[in-house]
Amino acid sequence: MPTIHARQALLPSGWANDVEVHIADDGRIAWVSAAHMNVEIDVETEVGIDAPENASSSSPSAVPIHVDILLPAPVNAHSHAFQRAMAGLTEGRGPDVRDSFWTWRRLMYRFLDQLTPEHVEAITAFVQLEMLECGYATNVEFHYLHHRPDGRPYDAVAEMSERVAAAARTTGIGLTLLPVHYQYGGCDRRPLGEGQKRFGSDLAQYGDLFDGAAAALAELPTDAALGVAPHSLRAVAPESFAPLIELASGRPIHLHLAEQQAEVDEVSTAWSKRPVEWVLDTLDPGPQWCLIHCTRMLPHETTALAQTGAIAGLCPITEANLGDGIFDGCRWLDAGGQIAIGSDSNIRISLVGELRTLEYTQRLRDHTRAALATREKSVGRRLFDAVTRGGAQAAARACGQIAEGAWADLMSLDGHSANTDGLRGDLILDSYIFAGDDALVRDVWSAGRHVVHEGRHHARDAIEAAYRRTIRELRHAL
């Protein structure tokens, strides 16, 4: 495994110059050393983890890899990979007077009826490739496409989970797999509709899906992880949460929450409490939980939920595309809340696009600028610190920092582009997010696997060719 030499790097204690990071054979960071810190940290402050006394300044096993700017690579905390293949196909006005999330969902159900396991593997691999090329090192896959179109299980009950894992084996991305429990079509426990039958399971069937997903992950490197995902309060009975939490046994639990007004109204009518109020009063959420979207919260709900330690899993590009609403990021962060970022529908996979959209929606709502900045940190620095820390928590992955013992989830940026040339410290992140784009990403390592070099995934040609064949078949069928 290599040593990486960076002219600048963002370490847990701040920015540092002339940093060397040695990656051990198990994919974790063995040690970090730096010549000196930038001005924001006292030069005598200990930087990360110093190299052991018997370690040379560069790895004896390989010539150091030289990069301009080294950052911890964030986690993509929420994805439905298969939806990537319908990106751009749902932007026309439907038969309804007003198009909405619910009309989009009907089109999505028609689309997924065409998907085979082979399609899902090809699409997922391409999605993971795009995630890696824009700087994500890990894919948290909220995976609910389990069965045949008529709802019958595949011969291998976790066939679709196996395909997601196979895609990760091809791309080298870190994977936290969340098989989804989805039982009902609404709070009244109506049966799943035609487009939903592929998702459905009772608790016993879900246990089989969970075990099958665990077996699929056993074929991957040891950084792969497993979690539990009750789909939403609409799709899961109240009494089912206790056994699902028990099954999780400390693993991550992800849940769609307060995404659409119609959902808020349905839960409020059925359970006499708004969704966030019900979760706070009934489920005792904490750091194990990642609650997705949360765009329809009242101020007191935002503050109370933030203070539980649960992660808010935000997908600003999808939330804008589907008209979900604007997450109250200012109130959430000021209350000490943690956030993670994801690409959800994968209409566009862009790390900087998600961060930029999150900040800009706050500005548009409040008619202000630098909405998420603090006196100590610029917007770019505060957002980047938040999503690397929160993403690691949401994925149950020891990553998010360049420090000894963490998985070597790393990304490098081009320091010679027109947007970064001559910049130092937090100005790099501000320019990267607000003036630059994902093309600034030059290298990505996932648990030490060097999967992106000079901005390109090592297997792009083959993965893209398989994806193109798949979308031609699907578009022809539609």
DSSP secondary structure string, 107-158?
Answer: HHHHHHTT--HHHHHHHHHHHHHHHHHTT--EEEEEE---S-TTSPPPSSTT
Residue by residue, pLDDT tens for the chain (478 residues) are 789 999 999 999 999 999 999 999 999 999 999 975 553 433 222 223 333 333 333 334 468 999 999 999 999 999 999 999 888 777 777 666 566 665 666 677 777 888 999 999 999 999 999 999 999 999 999 999 999 999 999 999 999 999 999 999 999 999 999 999 999 999 999 999 888 899 999 999 999 999 999 999 999 999 999 999 999 999 999 999 999 999 999 999 999 999 999 999 999 999 999 999 999 999 999 999 999 999 999 999 999 999 999 999 999 999 999 999 999 999 999 999 999 999 999 999 999 999 999 999 999 999 999 999 999 999 999 999 999 999 999 999 999 999 999 999 999 999 999 999 999 999 999 999 999 999 999 999 999 999 999 999 999 999 999 999 999 998 876 5
> Rounded to whole angstroms, how far apart are CA atoms 181 and 242?
13
With 0-12 / 13-18 / 19 or more C-beta atoms within 10 angstroms meaning exposed / middle / buried, residue 221 is: middle
- CA 244, distance to chain mean position in Å, is 22
- For residue 107, the model assigns a pLDDT of 72
- For residue 54, the model assigns a pLDDT of 33
Q: Which residue has the tokens 């109020």?
A: 277
List, by residue number, the catalytic residues. Answer: 293, 344
CA distances 464 to 115, 129, 191, Å, are 18, 9, 38
Structure token digits, residue 219: 């074929």
The vertex-131 CA angle with 126 and 137, nearest 5°, equals 125
- For residue 321, the model assigns a pLDDT of 92
Q: Which residue has the tokens 């910049």?
A: 423
CA distances 315 to 76, 322, 351, 352, 354, Å, are 9, 11, 10, 12, 7
| 3-class DSSP assignment, residue 404 | coil
Closest CA relative to residue 175, chosen from 96, 260, 77, 58: 77
CA distances 72 to 75, 406, 410, Å, are 10, 10, 5
> Rounded to whole angstroms, how far apart are CA atoms 47 and 466?
44
- For residue 108, the model assigns a pLDDT of 74
- For residue 195, the model assigns a pLDDT of 84
Q: Which residue has the tokens 């963002």?
A: 10
> Rounded to whole angstroms, how far apart are CA atoms 23 and 5?
11
- For residue 43, the model assigns a pLDDT of 26
> Rounded to whole angstroms, how far apart are CA atoms 155 and 338?
40
- For residue 49, the model assigns a pLDDT of 31
| 3-class DSSP assignment, residue 286 | coil
74: which DSSP letter? P
Checking DSSP bridges between strand 29-37 and strand 14-23, what pairing results, if any? antiparallel
Question: Per this entry, what is the length of the chain?
Answer: 478
> Rounded to whole angstroms, how far apart are CA atoms 382 and 102?
34
